[in-house]
Chains A and B, each alone.
Chain A
Amino acid sequence: MLGKLMKYEWKNTWKAGMLMLLGIFIVTVAGCIVLQMPGGVVSNLVDGNEANAAQTWLVISSFTATLILYVIMLLASTWGMLIFLGIRFYRSMYTDEGYLSHTLPVTANQLFLSKVLVSGVWYLFIMIGIGISIVALLVSLMMGLMDISELSGVLTQYNGNVWEFLGDGIYELNRVYEEQMGMNLLHYGITLLLTYVAGPFITMITLFGALTIGQLSSKHKGLIGILAYAGLTILSSIIGSTVQSVFMFSTNIVSSAGGTGITTNWAYDINVLTSALVAAIMYGVSYYIMNRKLNLD
């Protein structure tokens, strides 16, 4: 039954998800075109070389417009998708449509999980889309600023072996991170990847759990659900930041006392674990409410 539930959840969300991804794609392409202005206009400006007034105006206005549009698009796609998925969950579970959802011969766990999985996947796609978009824009910007012959010169030292060049770069970066920040870059990378992949699912569990908590109220259930989500997000951040700060502070003391262990990584891990713990609690709470406290108006 979980597969069937997911199939219909997918059918009901794919159009909105594709629309958001299309929006990100269009803004990214527009951004890349603007940031790769021909004729060395950008580099001239950055280097402080003379450029005529028309060129300067064109570059500054294009950059500003691109940046504004880009930020708006990022916010619209992340928040837009979050709001869409939240409304979709609420409507299908706790309004008239909930009368059908909750009378299907499925368990509360299957119902909740199907929504978390499909919504989480869509949110992950949006995050990946944004990640690719940022990388594409940065590459475009660098290509606008950089003299390609310089890069070719560097690569010549490596006989054109890009992988060796990248390997040396990462090794150097890792050394700097370890010496100056007490961090292992590989460990940090894994933490970051986990956050990136698990984050959307954690967000969905927290959001859907908060909306489910709102059902415990006799009035303004939707509003209380939204407030519960805001409260939980803030609480989770405060707990994560506090634990992280305490951990980093104690790490500094250990380091100054001659300790050599790379413990800064753990501070970031704890932040991720805090969010995961909040999500696990919310999953349990949602399951309990749907099984033992469901009261559809």
Chain B
Amino acid sequence: MNNLVEIVNLTKKYGSNVAVNNLTVSLPKGKIIGLLGPNGSGKTTLIKMLNGLLTPTEGTIMIDGNYVGPATKSKVAYLPDRTYLTMNQTIREILDYFQDFYADFSRERAEEMLKSLGIDPSVKMRTLSKGTKEKVQLILVMSRDASLYILDEPIAGVDPAARDYILRTIINNYNPEATVLISTHLIEDVEQVLDEVIFMRYGQLVLYTSVDNIREEKGKSVDAYFREVFAC
């Protein structure tokens, strides 16, 4: 079995509102997959369920043969769409924290990346700009040798130069045996690095195919095809 993630009949309801609707999909190992869809399509809900931050209403998720729990959390490196680090800690203290809890965390790699960006590990998180905080979080996540990297809007809210840096960091640091799931609105910026794409709408799977397939069969870029599929 070459699939890393198996999602079967997954549903998440908030009262009468269905955020993810009976989703069944399998994600293979060793691919960079774009999770694409308009606002409210259920991307973040799906990501939160993969990380155990939301409990599914129905259905199951298995990652590397395990249901979501401590075993999967030790293999999943997650970059949320918000700052989740404690603001009154220094970067060095946060490195200690990651080193203590994640066996696959490479402190050397993290320190190298921080050094290359000129970020002083002795400063407190609260003193950093929004963009730098995002870079620190990305460095922490990409310094792990995880089986699955889940990146929720990793390039939103940063300038184009920072976007390039972030994408380079992802490409240069992820474990080639691992899968990277990237959720984003900025398709044009990320499609160069994607192998496959998942289109979601109203919590359902619209399309799951390879980027090459879209280019060859549709004769369009992913961004152009996305605009066509989700045209208002």
Q: Are A105 and B102 in contact (CB under 8 A)?
A: yes
Q: Are A99 and B82 in contact (CB under 8 A)?
A: yes
Chain B binder among A57-65, A71-79, A154-162, A288-296 = A288-296
Is A99 a contact of B70 with CB atoms below 8 Å?
no
Which A167-187 residues have a C-beta within 8 angstroms of B? none
- Cβ distance A103 to chain B, nearest Cβ, rounded Å: 5
Provide the bound-state CA to CA distance between A292 and B67, in Å.
13
B118 within 8 A of A: no
Verify if A104 is at the interface (C-beta below 8 Å from B). Answer: yes
Interface size class of B (residues with CB under 8 A): 20 to 34
Q: A8-B97, A103-B78, A105-B101 are in contact. Are A296 and B54 (CB under 8 A)?
A: yes
Beyond A296-B48, A296-B54, is A4–B82 a contact (Cβ under 8 Å)? no
Is A103 a contact of B53 with CB atoms below 8 Å?
yes
The segment out of B83-91, B154-162, B208-216 that lies at the interface is B83-91
Contact A103 B97 (CB under 8 A): no
* Residue interface bits A99-110, CB-to-B below 8 A is 1, else 0: 110111111000
CB atoms of A294 and B83 under 8 A apart: no
- Within the assembled complex, what's the spacing in Å between the Cα atoms of A97 and B88? 12
Residues from chain A with Cβ under 8 Å of B9 in the complex: none
Nearest chain A CB to B19's CB is how many angstroms away? 11
Distance in angstroms between the alpha carbons of A1 and B103 in the assembled complex: 12
Chain B residues with CB under 8 A of A292: 55
**Is B101's CB under 8 angstroms from A99's CB?**
no
Give the size of the chain A interface in residues (CB under 8 angstroms): 23
Write out the residue numbers on chain A whose beta carbons fall within 8 Å of the beta carbon of B28. none
A52 at interface, CB cutoff 8 A: no
Q: Roughly how many angstroms separate A8 CA and B102 CA in the complex, as a whole number?
A: 14
Chain A residues with CB under 8 Å of B76's CB are 103
Indicate whether A96 reaches chain B with its CB closer than 8 angstroms. Answer: yes
Residues of B within 8 A of A103 (CB): 51-53, 73, 76, 78
Q: A7-B100, A218-B15 are in contact. List 18 more A-B contacts (CB 8 A).
A: A8-B97, A97-B86, A99-B80, A99-B82, A99-B84, A102-B51, A102-B52, A103-B52, A103-B53, A103-B78, A104-B73, A105-B71, A105-B74, A105-B101, A106-B73, A294-B54, A294-B55, A296-B48
Give 26 A-B contacts (CB < 8 Å), ordered by A residue: A1-B101, A97-B85, A99-B53, A99-B78, A100-B84, A100-B85, A102-B51, A103-B73, A104-B73, A104-B101, A105-B71, A105-B101, A106-B70, A106-B73, A107-B69, A107-B70, A218-B14, A218-B15, A292-B55, A293-B55, A294-B52, A294-B53, A295-B53, A296-B48, A296-B53, A296-B54
